[in-house]
A and B are shown apart, each in its own frame.
Chain A
């Protein structure tokens, strides 16, 4: 297997206590949640954590969330959590969570979908909706000292207001010649979907990619991977993370 990560020793995931240090809206449906916890400096960009909530009677619920931050020495990490209709865990983050509240985290999980500067590039990234979160972490990691690696992000969102961290992504693209942003806003006048031309634009900016990461709904990832393979990228370079049906 041509893996993005070399595996040298068994990984043990244990539960860590985590305390919310900041919480803020990112879009109308997504909140940024910053957590202080013991695994804050131990993860790679692109990985996710399991979050566990416990009710007073001992009932527990767990869900997985991608990490949005890159390790930054602050002792905290950032999740971006989309409030889903009837979301058992996301609903608590949407409606109830506050600074000082405590949850449990376990991870980091998902080493095959992760990137660090020494892994090289160029990086071709494509996200649908909240699938941008682990790719944002990769761009943040790149900005910490790997700016020589070209990176292109194709980002499909329904509306500009629903696009996560769009101001930060545009700032990366505006201030760093090594980064290009290719937005596909699907549900606004003049909007578009990801297509062969968008993929060609992104590839023109990066040159032949060394690492390709796709994250989003099944429909998005299937479409994006087909377009990227059709553009001549070897399927073995592509790593995917999917959610939804």
Chain B
């Protein structure tokens, strides 16, 4: 449906090719979350892999920081329409987490669980093969609490609500189980390039 008088602002071709449909480029780093930042103390921070309610392995902050590090450079995309180019992240890859726990993924799905009780679901296939981190550094610095520090899940090829802030663990589930936003109409998968913002997209 054409909107009278609307011409829009086209991106330069180079920028446009890097922007998923419906996104616009920002230099800011907007912050979106459901409540206040939770207070997370590194002295008591723990990160736990679970299968259902059963813990598989748990790391303290020092143990986590001693795991192999992976860096990532590239573009991130938020369902609220902003994209940010050329961001730098560092953390522990999901592959290295599984290796340190000495397990293979027991199911095909998991829920990321956060210190603010936020949850979001991601297929395991989207986390393996170097595609995802539990990130602890952004642009060379510890991640600011506003952006999910001390640790956030980081799945850059999906909309950023999947990259759960203040993450405290990953729980393998037998079926794909909707998280906080997925229960409220957001897409179960969230591929920016297929513009999967909401259920039915």
Nearest chain A residue, comparing its CB with the CB of B7: A55
Assess the B81–A102 pair: CB atoms within 8 A: no
Nearest chain B CB to A222 CB, angstrom units: 7
Assess the A225–B36 pair: CB atoms within 8 A: yes
Q: Does A197 contact B (CB under 8 A)?
A: no
Q: Does B1 contact A (CB under 8 A)?
A: yes
Nearest chain B residue, comparing its CB with the CB of A104: B1
Distance of A231 Cα from B31 Cα, bound (Å): 24
Identify the stretch in A7-15, A26-34, A73-81, A160-168 within 8 Å (CB) of chain B at 4 or more residues. Answer: A7-15
What B residues does A22 contact at CB under 8 A?
Answer: none
What B residues does A112 contact at CB under 8 A?
Answer: 34, 180, 184
Assess the B199–A92 pair: CB atoms within 8 A: no
What B residues does A72 contact at CB under 8 A?
Answer: none
Assess the A64–B80 pair: CB atoms within 8 A: yes
Assess the A62–B22 pair: CB atoms within 8 A: yes
What B residues does A111 contact at CB under 8 A?
Answer: 184-185
What B residues does A103 contact at CB under 8 A?
Answer: 1, 3
What A residues does B118 contact at CB under 8 A?
Answer: 1
What B residues does A54 contact at CB under 8 A?
Answer: 1-3, 6
Q: Does A21 contact B (CB under 8 A)?
A: no
A10-B185, A218-B31, A242-B30 known; A102+B3 contact, CB < 8 A: yes
Assess the A1–B117 pair: CB atoms within 8 A: yes
Q: Does B183 contact A (CB under 8 A)?
A: yes
- A-B CB contacts (within 8 Å), total count: 119
Q: Does B9 contact A (CB under 8 A)?
A: yes
Assess the B2–A56 pair: CB atoms within 8 A: yes
What B residues does A243 contact at CB under 8 A?
Answer: 30
Nearest chain A residue, comparing its CB with the CB of B118: A1
Assess the A245–B6 pair: CB atoms within 8 A: no
What B residues does A88 contact at CB under 8 A?
Answer: 8-9, 24
Q: Does A109 contact B (CB under 8 A)?
A: yes
Identify the stretch in A127-135, A173-181, A233-241 within 8 Å (CB) of chain B at 4 or more residues. Answer: A233-241
User: What bracket does the count of chain A residues touching chain B fall in?
Assistant: 35 or more
Q: Does B54 contact A (CB under 8 A)?
A: no
Main secondary structure of the interface of B (DSSP, over half): loop
Distance of A2 Cα from B117 Cα, bound (Å): 9
Q: Does A204 contact B (CB under 8 A)?
A: no
Which of A53, A101, A106, A245 is close to B28, meaning CB atoms less than 8 Å apart?
A245
Distance of A229 Cα from B146 Cα, bound (Å): 16
For window 45-72 of A, CB contacts with B under 8 Å fall at 53-56, 59-64
Q: Which of A53, A54, A63 is packed against the most chain B CB atoms within 10 Å? A: A53
Distance of A11 Cα from B198 Cα, bound (Å): 9
What A residues does B9 contact at CB under 8 A?
Answer: 61, 86, 88
Q: Does A159 contact B (CB under 8 A)?
A: no
What A residues does B22 contact at CB under 8 A?
Answer: 60-62
Nearest chain B residue, comparing its CB with the CB of A86: B9
Distance of A12 Cα from B188 Cα, bound (Å): 12
Nearest chain A residue, comparing its CB with the CB of B30: A245
Which of B2, B34, B199 is close to A10, meaning CB atoms less than 8 Å apart?
B199
Q: Does B194 contact A (CB under 8 A)?
A: no
Q: Does A190 contact B (CB under 8 A)?
A: no
Q: Which of B2, B8, B80, B119 is packed against the most chain A CB atoms within 10 Å? A: B8
For window 1-41 of B, CB contacts with A under 8 Å fall at 1-10, 22, 24, 26, 28-38
Distance of A86 Cα from B8 Cα, bound (Å): 11
Which of B5, B35, B36, B81 is close to A96, meaning CB atoms less than 8 Å apart?
B5
Q: Does A244 contact B (CB under 8 A)?
A: yes
7 contacts between A and B (CB under 8 A): A1-B118, A11-B198, A13-B185, A101-B4, A102-B4, A222-B146, A245-B26
Which residues of chain B have a CB within 8 Å of any CB of chain A?
Answer: 1-10, 22, 24, 26, 28-38, 80-81, 117-119, 146, 178, 180, 183-185, 198-200
Beyond A106-B198, A242-B33, 11 extra complex contacts between A and B, CB < 8 Å: A7-B184, A10-B178, A13-B199, A17-B1, A55-B7, A55-B8, A62-B81, A86-B9, A109-B198, A111-B185, A241-B32
